[in-house]
Amino acid sequence: MTTSSTKDTILVLSGGMDSTTMLYEYRDRIALAVSFDYGSNHNKKEIACAAFHCKQLGVRHLIIPLEFISKYFHSALLEGAEAIPEGSYDEENMRSTVVPFRNGIMLAIAAGLAENESLSRIMMANHAGDHAIYPDCRPAFVHAMDEAVKAGTYNGVRLVTPYTGLTKADIARHGKALGIDYSKTWSCYRGGTHHCGTCDTCRERIEALREAGIEDTTIYE
Ligand SMILES: [Zn+2]
């Protein structure tokens, strides 16, 4: 039963597990996916995955370069594989990988694109596991940004974030039901040839796949 559902949504797609799951889960409403190349260690790997899945699903995909971020901002995420700390769930450690206000910058651009394309929704795959470290993933930020883009656009664009209360393992369970091949997603903050298996994002990935009962076919160094 296929009814003609309206494609009214722009998805911020990194090419990691979470936003890729959102792409598959909400594909009937996604008119456009947008990835941002902000010069991080792992952008090339991530964006190749994002492009792969958009092609699979026939979703239009834009890649927007944000060179100014790596030029003017400091973050371990922008400073090469050696700058990424070994995973320890230590807050100070993880904080070194924050790119200042990254989601705010990306969402502001997505709001402009949405208005430009006459789309009424932006989707982002922030989740509960991000809240502790990243202020621009928390419910208070998402709520305020939703209000801001609604007030700042003629068509009253809304920010929709259905994974805000989910853990990464919950998201992986959605992906399992959708039959997503997670080996074609990228998590590692080091951005090497293969996932390192030891940084925080690799550890989170391994744990989420295990908790969701998904066979992890990712190649680790
Ligand atoms: Zn890693």
Confidence of residue 1 (pLDDT cuts 50, 70, 90): very low
191 versus 148: the higher-pLDDT residue is 148
CA–CA dist 102, 140 (Å, integer) = 16
Tell how far the Cα of 133 is from the centroid of ligand 1, in angstroms: 17
Tell how far the Cα of 196 is from the centroid of ligand 1, in angstroms: 4
Tell how far the Cα of 139 is from the centroid of ligand 1, in angstroms: 27
Tell how far the Cα of 219 is from the centroid of ligand 1, in angstroms: 11
Tell how far the Cα of 151 is from the centroid of ligand 1, in angstroms: 39
| CA torsion angle 152 6 174 113 (round to 10) | -30
pTM value? 0.93
Confidence of residue 39 (pLDDT cuts 50, 70, 90): confident
CA–CA dist 35, 109 (Å, integer) = 11
Confidence of residue 97 (pLDDT cuts 50, 70, 90): confident
Q: pLDDT at position 23, please?
A: 98
CA–CA dist 209, 215 (Å, integer) = 7
Tell how far the Cα of 190 is from the centroid of ligand 1, in angstroms: 5
The answer to whether 188 and 42 are in contact (CB under 8 A) is yes
Domains and CATH numbers, the chain: 9-211 (3.40.50.620)
Tell how far the Cα of 216 is from the centroid of ligand 1, in angstroms: 14
Tell how far the Cα of 33 is from the centroid of ligand 1, in angstroms: 25
| Least confident segment among 6-20, 69-83, 150-164 | 69-83
Task: Take residue 42 and report the two structure tokens written for it.
Answer: 């792992």
**Stretch 141-158: mean pLDDT, rounded?**
97
Helix ranges, the chain (H): 17-25, 43-57, 67-72, 91-95, 102-116, 139-151, 168-178, 200-211
Tell how far the Cα of 194 is from the centroid of ligand 1, in angstroms: 8
Tell how far the Cα of 22 is from the centroid of ligand 1, in angstroms: 22
